[in-house]
Amino acid sequence: MSTTTTIPAPGNLIGGAWQPAISGQTFENRNPADTDDLVAHHAASDDRDLDAAFAAASEAFPAWRRTPGIARGNILYRAAEILASRVEAIARELTREEGKTLKEATGETMRAVAILRYFAGETAQPHGEHYPSASPTTMLYTLREPLGVITIITPWNFPIAIPAWKLVPALAYGNAVVIKPASDAPLCTIRLAECLVDAGLPAGVLNVVTGSASALGDRLVTDERSVAVSFTGSDATGKHIRDLAGAHGKKVQLELGGKNPAIVLADADMDHALTQVINGAMMSTGQKCTATSRAIVDRHIVAEFTERLAQKIGALTVGNGLDGATQVGPLINAKAADSVAEQVEQARGEGTELLVGGRRLDGDHARGHFVAPALFNDVSPSSRLGQDELFGPVLGVIPVDGMDEAISVANNVRYGLSASLFTRDLTRAMRFVQEIQAGIVHVNSETAGAEPQVPFGGYKGSSSYSREQGKAAREFFTQIKTVYLDPSPS
Ligand code: UN1
């Protein structure tokens, strides 16, 4: 399906102007479902482009911070309407550059619209608190003020939603931004930035710089004009950013991996649990930090549940996301597909039973990075498969004896992003909510998903204890000023 033409990408956005990299270099981006489909060329930036972007952001920040929140919100609201009018076109580009199905891409683009609308509204919310003072004449209150220039580094797996959920609150609260989207899928960030520019965002308030992490990574974090770094991505990069940003005195927000459990108790509605567990594991080809990777199932029902899981997972249609019949798209690139297939082999080598899938697909699928959705049986909770994040369409079943063992297995990993429980028993549901070590907890729904009005983030190794989205976004993107205001004594 390589019938679409290469998109002339506008390059970097710096100081309000779209421009090529100073070096003139570009890199190409191909459709992961069909590598004959050259999606776009992008600017291969280096330090000089970043230098210009940080300079533009620093220059734009003072006027933007003085712009009333309501006026900033009006721009975000206009951007939401512009993006809403472009959803169909952008969703197709999202599918071409990232691979997820058109249905998911459309949902994700609509999520970016919802984020813009939500934070447009937040700009009209109170942004401080009034306190009683020990002094009879003092008006004592707090203000939330922007931090300054923020560095945002985003992953390829939600190429419009994650840039939106970081940069929109950053802008709403009066910060200026330099964003570097992942080089596997930078186009959607460019499209989002175009909506903001068309909505009247002043020049320099948002700067987009594309290029490789190795060329730009450290400078993005260490440039002294940036005061904070928000990052979503791999554990290894996150730790590097945390150390580097910490050494430079920056505020840091990290969203990292997950090894999310779905516990299925014997009294669960099995049809519903099957659908939700499969959606959680296989949508976005399992490439999300909120994906379900462990089905922890009560031994009384595990045989039937596993058999039905295998049957349904084996029947999933894998292909190009632009094809309406496709249920599971490709992995993002060849390296990712090879790595998932290798980890599957490794687990088999360690004696874990593979019930279905797990191979690189060839034949009709040879031009893309496809791996057949995989299901493992009877996974040992302490094995690599039971502990490590694969970031692919791979689910492992872990049988347990009841609720206590289920919770203990669920918690016994280094991550704690999201977790699900399937039951009809309210008492057990409430105990699960209390005992599970996860930042996002679902009862009778899949582990993935993120509504813009509530906090998003994990426990333990999944996050840096800060939260994104909703009112929680304000914690990261603002600082508090305490004001003691007295009339002059004369
Ligand atoms: C979702 O579950 O819909 O990088 C969003 C990730 C997460 C986003 C998940 N930060 O996969």
The encoded tokens of residue 28 equal 């190409």
How many other C-beta atoms are found inside a 10 Å radius of the C-beta of residue 357?
Answer: 23
**Model confidence pLDDT, tens digit, residues 369-407:** 999 999 999 999 999 999 999 999 999 999 999 999 999
Same domain, residue pair 161 and 216: yes
Q: Which of 94, 235, 290 to mutate to test the pocket of ligand 1 (most atoms within 8 A of CB)?
A: 290
> Residue 217: what pLDDT?
86
Q: Which residues line ligand 1 (CB under 6 A)?
A: 155, 157-158, 162, 232, 255, 288-290, 448-450
Q: At 2, is the pLDDT very low, low, confident or very high (cuts 50, 70, 90)?
A: very low
**Ligand 1 atom closest to the CA of 291, numbered from 1:** 2
Q: Could you tell me if residue 179 is inside a domain? A: yes
Q: Which of 109, 156, 157, 253 to mutate to test the pocket of ligand 1 (most atoms within 8 A of CB)?
A: 157
- CATH number of the domain at 296, please: 3.40.309.10
Q: Which residue among 93, 194, 195, 289 is the active-site one?
A: 289
pLDDT, mean of residues 103-118: 98
Q: Which helix (H) or strand (E) holds 306?
A: helix 302-314
Same domain, residue pair 198 and 227: yes
**Model confidence pLDDT, tens digit, residues 289-305:** 999 999 999 999 999 99
> Residue 10: what pLDDT?
87
**Model confidence pLDDT, tens digit, residues 116-141:** 999 999 999 998 999 999 999 999 99
Is the overall model pTM greater than 0.95, yes or no? yes
CA of 288 to the centre of ligand 1 (A): 5
Q: What average pLDDT is seen over the chain?
A: 97
Same domain, residue pair 297 and 342: yes
List Cα–Cα distances, 44 to 9, 36, 228, in angstroms: 12, 21, 24
Identify the residue whose C-alpha is closest to ligand 1 atom 3.
449
CA of 51 to the centre of ligand 1 (A): 30
Q: Do residues 463 and 255 lie in contact, with contact meaning Cβ atoms separated by under 8 Å?
A: yes
CA of 270 to the centre of ligand 1 (A): 25
Instruction: For residue 271, give every residue at least 6 positions away whose Cβ sits within 8 Å of its Cβ, in sequence order, or none.
Output: none
Task: Please give the Cα distance from 235 to 256 (Å, whole number).
Answer: 5
- CATH number of the domain at 17, please: 3.40.605.10
> Residue 8: what pLDDT?
85
Pairing assessment for the beta strands 139-146 and 130-131 based on DSSP bridges: antiparallel
Same domain, residue pair 248 and 275: no
Q: Could you tell me if residue 89 is inside a domain? A: yes
The encoded tokens of residue 18 equal 């779209």
Q: Could you tell me if residue 341 is inside a domain? A: yes
Same domain, residue pair 292 and 405: yes
Starting from the edge strand earliest in sequence, which strands make up the sheet with 478-485, in order? 130-131, 139-146, 478-485
Residue 3, pLDDT above cutoff 60: no
Identify the residue whose C-alpha is closest to ligand 1 atom 10.
289
Same domain, residue pair 416 and 279: yes
Q: Could you tell me if residue 322 is inside a domain? A: yes
Q: Could you tell me if residue 274 is inside a domain? A: yes
Q: Which of 98, 108, 160, 288 to mutate to test the pocket of ligand 1 (most atoms within 8 A of CB)?
A: 288
Closest CA to 155 of 147, 146, 166: 166
Task: Please give the Cα distance from 481 to 340 (Å, whole number).
Answer: 48
Residue 4, pLDDT above cutoff 80: no
Residue 273, pLDDT above cutoff 90: yes
Identify the residue whose C-alpha is closest to ligand 1 atom 11.
288
Q: Do residues 231 and 252 lie in contact, with contact meaning Cβ atoms separated by under 8 Å?
A: yes
CA of 165 to the centre of ligand 1 (A): 11
Phi, psi of 30 (to 5 degrees): -110, 155
The encoded tokens of residue 11 equal 């390059």
CA of 20 to the centre of ligand 1 (A): 31
Closest CA to 177 of 230, 224, 105, 109: 230
Same domain, residue pair 401 and 468: no
**Model confidence pLDDT, tens digit, residues 334-383:** 999 999 999 999 999 999 999 999 999 999 899 999 999 999 999 999 99
- Burial tier of 48 (Cβ tally within 10 Å: 0-12, 13-18, 19+): exposed
> Residue 243: what pLDDT?
97
Task: Please give the Cα distance from 272 to 283 (Å, whole number).
Answer: 16
**Model confidence pLDDT, tens digit, residues 34-84:** 999 999 999 999 999 999 999 999 999 999 999 999 999 999 999 999 999
> Residue 46: what pLDDT?
97
Identify the residue whose C-alpha is closest to ligand 1 atom 1.
449
Q: Could you tell me if residue 7 is inside a domain? A: no
Considering only residues 477 and 466, tell me which one the structure prediction assigns the higher pLDDT. Answer: 477
Task: Please give the Cα distance from 258 to 328 (Å, whole number).
Answer: 20
> Residue 9: what pLDDT?
79
**Model confidence pLDDT, tens digit, residues 436-458:** 999 999 999 999 999 999 999 99
**Ligand 1 atom closest to the CA of 290, numbered from 1:** 2
Same domain, residue pair 477 and 331: no
pLDDT-above-90 percentage for the chain: 97
Same domain, residue pair 219 and 135: yes
Q: Which residue among 122, 255, 446, 468 is the active-site one?
A: 255
CA of 318 to the centre of ligand 1 (A): 21
Same domain, residue pair 196 and 62: yes
Helices (H), 149-252: 161-172, 187-198, 213-222, 235-247
Q: Do residues 288 and 158 lie in contact, with contact meaning Cβ atoms separated by under 8 Å?
A: yes
CA of 186 to the centre of ligand 1 (A): 17
Q: For residue 398, what are the domain limits?
A: 260-443
Could you say which DSSP state residue 351 is in? T
Task: Please give the Cα distance from 84 to 93 (Å, whole number).
Answer: 15
Q: Which of 162, 282, 389, 420 to mutate to test the pocket of ligand 1 (most atoms within 8 A of CB)?
A: 162
Instruction: For residue 489, give every residue at least 6 positions away whose Cβ sits within 8 Å of its Cβ, in sequence order, or none.
Output: none
Identify the residue whose C-alpha is closest to ligand 1 atom 7.
289
pLDDT, mean of residues 27-32: 97
**Model confidence pLDDT, tens digit, residues 397-434:** 999 999 999 999 999 999 999 999 999 999 999 999 99
Closest CA to 139 of 130, 147, 148: 130
Closest CA to 175 of 201, 197, 147: 147
Same domain, residue pair 401 and 421: yes
Q: Do residues 469 and 262 lie in contact, with contact meaning Cβ atoms separated by under 8 Å?
A: no
Same domain, residue pair 28 and 100: yes
Task: Please give the Cα distance from 109 to 424 (Å, whole number).
Answer: 34
The count of structural domains within the chain is: 2
Least confidently predicted of 2-6, 143-147, 155-159, 366-370: 2-6
Q: Is 289 a catalytic residue?
A: yes
Task: Please give the Cα distance from 376 to 380 (Å, whole number).
Answer: 10
Q: Could you tell me if residue 424 is inside a domain? A: yes
> Residue 388: what pLDDT?
97
Q: Could you tell me if residue 2 is inside a domain? A: no
- Burial tier of 363 (Cβ tally within 10 Å: 0-12, 13-18, 19+): exposed
CA of 315 to the centre of ligand 1 (A): 25
How many other C-beta atoms are found inside a 10 Å radius of the C-beta of residue 46?
Answer: 18
The encoded tokens of residue 443 equal 């009862």
The encoded tokens of residue 142 equal 């707090």
Tell how far CA 328 is from the center of its chain.
19
